[in-house]
Structures are given as structure tokens and as C-alpha cells.
Amino acid sequence: MIDGAKVAVLVFFAAILEVSVFSDVKILGGVPDLLLVTVVAVALLRGAVTGACAGFFAGLVLDTATLETLGLSSLLLTLIGYWVGRYGETTGRDRTHAPFLSVAVVTFLYALGGLALRFVLGEPAPARVVLLDSLFQGIALNLLLTLPLYAVARRLLPPRFRVTRGEGAPALG
């Protein structure tokens, strides 16, 4: 319960910071996505279900704050949270590169998915701007955010169990 509240607060503030501060930061044409990195961090640390919930909540706050089509970001971030959570629970568990790999991949997929959904909904979908002019800068900026943000998330949401090298998964029960 406390864990869920922590996740909610973390995601909520990440969403607020994203819409009020980070969306205004343009570096070399790219915009860092604090919320996306936060969802990835939460999903990696807490698994698929929490990741999906965090993604849904994050999307809801984002769409509400930006007055975008409600459910659009929720759908994308839910899928991302779930997928990254699954990756964290399986192959990405305790791997140092997992947050970076996840962030890089989901930044690309998030941009692609957002474009596809907007296109389907008939909203403006500037593919050139999103995929060519700002995508790589966005990935780089998100990767820069990953280390500190993952550290903060890890501090707030410490892993429930650790796996050391040579050990298998902990016995249940």
C-alpha cells in the first residue's frame, strides 16, 4: 500500500515536472521525457503490474494536464510500463544496462506509437519532426536522465529482493 502511494507520488510529481518544466527544455531540438523515464524506472523496480498501473496513471495525469486526448498517453504508457516491467522481471533483472536499454527502446517506441495513434485519430502527426529532427536527441537526453532518476526511484522503491551472481531466483514461500 505504501509502495503504491510512493509510486503514485513519484509518477504524479514526474508528470507535473514534465508538463511544467521539462517540456520547456529544448536541447539541440530534443525534449527530455522525465515521465517516461520515471515509468521505466518504476516498472523495472516493481514489475509489470505496477509498471502498467504507473504508466496508466502517468498518462492520465499527462493528458489531463495538457488537455490532450484522454487515454492516448495512458494507453501507450500502460503498454510501456507493462513491457518494461516484464523485461525487469525476467531478462533485465539486476542488469546494469537494463534501465538504459529500456529507456532507449521505449523512447523510440513511445514516439512511434504516439505518431501512429495520432495518425489514426486524425490528429497532427509530424513524422519528420518526431522521428528525424528530435528523436535521437530525445533518446540521448532521456539516457542522461536515466542514471539520476533511476537512482532516486531505486532509493524510494528499494528492490524487494536481490540476486547475486551465482545464485538463482529466491525460493518462494
Partner 1 sequence: MAVLVLVSLALLTVYFRESSGGGLHNLQSTGSSILRPFEVAANRVAQPFRDAASWIGGLSGARADNKELRRELVKARADAIRYQAAIQENTRLEKLLRYSESASFPTDFRPLTTSVIVLPPGQFDQRLVVGVGRVNGVQLDDPVVTDAGLVGHVTRVYTGVAQVTLITDESSFVSVLDLSTGASGLLRHSDSGSSIIMDNVPKKDQVEPGDRIITAGWHTPGLSSIYPRGIPVGVVSSVNQTDIDPNKQIEVRPFVDFGGLQYMFVLASKSGTP
127 interacts with partner 1 by CB under 8 A = no
| Closer of 49 and 100 to partner 1 (Cβ) | 49
* Beta-carbon count within 10 A of 19 CB: 17
110 interacts with partner 1 by CB under 8 A = no
Say how far apart CA 10 and CA 44 lie, in whole Å. Answer: 14
113 interacts with partner 1 by CB under 8 A = no
Q: Which of 67, 169, 171, 172 binds partner 1 (CB under 8 A)?
A: 67
| Window of 44-52, 104-112, 133-141, 164-172 that interacts with partner 1 by CB under 8 A | 44-52
23 interacts with partner 1 by CB under 8 A = no
144 interacts with partner 1 by CB under 8 A = no
Q: Name residue 94's amino acid.
A: D
| Window of 53-61, 101-109, 140-148, 164-172 that interacts with partner 1 by CB under 8 A | 53-61
61 interacts with partner 1 by CB under 8 A = yes
Residue at grid coordinates 514461500 = 173
Q: What is the DSSP letter of 27?
A: B
Say how far apart CA 54 and CA 60 lie, in whole Å. Answer: 10
Q: Which of 38, 74, 107, 142 binds partner 1 (CB under 8 A)?
A: 74
Exposure of 106 in the CB half-sphere (CA atoms within 13 A): 32
| Window of 30-38, 78-86, 106-114, 159-167 that interacts with partner 1 by CB under 8 A | 78-86
Backbone angles phi, psi at 27, to 5 degrees: -120, 115
3-class secondary-structure state, position 126? coil
Say how far apart CA 49 and CA 58 lie, in whole Å. Answer: 14
| Closer of 121 and 127 to partner 1 (Cβ) | 121
The dihedral region occupied by 13, where left means phi > 0, alpha psi between -120 and 50, and beta the remainder, is alpha
- Residues near partner 1 (CB under 8 A) are 12, 16-17, 19-21, 24-25, 48-49, 52-53, 55-56, 59, 61, 63-65, 67, 69-72, 74-75, 78-79, 82, 121
